[in-house]
Structure 1
Amino acid sequence: MDLSDIHSALSSKSYSNVADICDELMLKIASNGVDYEQEWPYAIHLLGHIFVDDLNSARFLWKTIPAFVKEAKPEVVAVWKIGQCLWTTDYSGVYASLLGFEWSPELSIFISAFSEKYTDRMFKLLASSYSTISITDMTHFTGMSKESATQFALQNGWTLDQASQMLTVKQQTTVSKQKVDPSYLQRLTEYVFHLEH
């Protein structure tokens, strides 16, 4: 079984493409009648779907994985635990799942990339949802230690009130410029003129 496309995506850190590559390759192999279940990289495939936040596909894949694979490959179960925590919005559980397993060398870099992406996403979500947040709540949402969460927040421009242990979120300024198409204005003017006359 040729899994070189999957390994190539991993080595080039094209993690967003892993799920699609795995899906296509799995269909191709299955359509040729090849028994792939023993050798298939289910952990990578599951993490590929989780990485692009496609939890429905991850759940479907999980349900199709044979029981003997789940029993023989604890890393597959460990990846699915991350998916379960995401599904139930157990934020600290995601980090506990990431840190609570000794990942294989093949998967550890992919796991690190997911962890960085997830942390970034959580901080953006918190920044858009809160103006101030306690360090305790921050650790709950990020799964980080108090020191790590505080350090990360300060590095991203947030401020800390030592007395209250509250972080003030640095609000992102978004400037949206709209360009109006001159032809649209011309058509609108003609339409209004037509209605008035």
Structure 2
Amino acid sequence: MSEEAPIAALEVLQLVSAGRFRELPAACEELELSPLISLDPSTATTAPEQVDQQGLLCAVHLLAYLLEGQLDSARFLWKRTPAPVQQHPQAAAAHRVLAARWRRQYAEAFAQLQAGPPWDSRLQPLVAEVVSRSREGLLDKIGKAYKVVSLTRVATMLGIDAVAARAACESRGWALDAEGNVSPSLARSEDDLMQMGEAQLQKLTEYMAHLEQQSCKI
């Protein structure tokens, strides 16, 4: 590995520290394709210091893809990652989050994000952003998929307690009744559904399938 590799890796970690998360996927891809750091199983070395660096960068790369919802890209990254790097605690933890997300096990994904191995301090800002943005994205899907949903169901999907779930729903202006049911403000009335075009109905169906689909293999 080139002596320039630690510098290139530091630049990626500086993006994390600066909160420039949207730049991470492209930066990680560029670094992976460069001769500075190789994840090619046929050429990758197993020196402890190199595995440690590659494991940390692999975790950043996976989390960056998760942040942008690029699950397929994350899966293919993992498949081409050498076994020694896959065994690195940070990389393995990021993969567990990916596996849970792929199987629609939202609560498990959030539990893995919050527990970690624990997470390296350099990754914590990125992990926190993945948690925050994932919850917001899931709330968007809930709002589009459900006319009425129980607060318990919302809390379970978000991996939080009922109090926090109530606060999240109220922050969006969603109505809650005495029985603990939530009425997302984005939910469509029956009249609205009758007026929706075929493409819009298909999109709503996809949201429902995404939230209710049984676990599948990664």
Match of 1:42 in 2: 58
* Alignment pair present for 1:5 and 2:11: yes
Please report the TM-score for the alignment, with normalisation by the length of structure 1. Answer: 0.78
Output aligned runs, 1:40-189, within 5 Å: 40=54, 41-71=57-87, 73-101=88-116, 102-162=118-178, 164-171=179-186
Which is greater in Rg?
Answer: 1
Q: Of the candidates 33, 43, 53, which is equivalent to residue 27 of structure 1? A: 33
- Deviations 1:70-118, CA, capped at 9 Å, x for gaps: 33x2121111111111111111111121122221111111000011100
Once the two structures are overlaid, the 10-residue window that deviates more, 60-69 or 126-135, is: 60-69
- SS of residue paired to 1:167: strand
Match of 1:180 in 2: none
Match of 1:15 in 2: 21
Larger RCO: 1 or 2 (CA < 8 Å, sep 6+): 2
- Deviations 1:147-177, CA, capped at 9 Å, x for gaps: 1111111122112212x1111212389xxxx
Question: Structure 2, unaligned stretches of length 5 or more?
Answer: 189-218
Q: How many angstroms does 1:31 deviate by?
A: 8.5
The amino acid across from 2:58 in the alignment is Y
Looking at structure 2, the residues matched to 29 and 128 of structure 1 have their Cα atoms a distance apart, in angstroms, of 45
Q: Is the alpha carbon distance of 1:11 and 1:31 closer, same or farther for their aligned partners in structure 2, counting shifts above 3 Å? A: closer
Question: Structure 1, unaligned stretches of length 5 or more?
Answer: 174-197
- Deviations 1:123-147, CA, capped at 9 Å, x for gaps: 1111111122101211222111111
Structure 1 runs of 4+ aligned residues shifted over 4 Å read 30-37
Identity of matched residues, %: 22
Match of 2:199 in 1: none
